[in-house]
Amino acid sequence: EAQVTQNPRYLITVTGKKLTVTCSQNMNHEYMSWYRQDPGLGLRQIYYSMNVEVTDKGDVPEGYKVSRKEKRNFPLILESPSPNQTSLYFCASSLSGIGDSPLHFGNGTRLTVT
């Protein structure tokens, strides 16, 4: 089944403890992206990747890191999480980074930082 898989679904952690949210897609998509969703703010892009070894900042990159060493994987790294990073996170991918490619989303990771 074609899908975007992100793990974990739920994560509770403490301030400053490094964490990684994994994302993998099995559709051979070139483009991958991370979004966070917060009440009243909608979805905001954190980072995106047009292809392997090519990543770029989105609208809210502060406090996050990403890497794209393989086409299928695009992990999100929080080196020192803070409570304002408590959010619902989505990984997404599309065939390409151009206008007519719909994004396919993972099921989301709900992160709580205490």
Partner 1 sequence: AQKITQTQPGMFVQEKEAVTLDCTYDTSDPSYGLFWYKQPSSGEMIFLIYQGSYDQQNATEGRYSLNFQKARKSANLVISASQLGDSAMYFCAMREGRDSGYSTLTFGKGTMLLVSP
Contacts with partner 1, residue ranges (CB under 8 A):
33, 35, 40-45, 48, 50, 58, 88, 90, 92, 97-105, 107-108, 110
Beta carbon of residue 93, minimum distance to partner 1 (angstroms, whole number):
11
DSSP code string of 26-62 = SS--SEEEEEEEETTTEEEEEEEEEETTEEEE-S--T
Paired tokens of 49 = 């990747």
Considering the complex, state which of residue 69 and residue 99 has its C-beta at the smaller distance from partner 1: 99
Instruction: Give the residues across from 51 on adjacent strands.
Output: 54
Beta carbon of residue 55, minimum distance to partner 1 (angstroms, whole number):
13
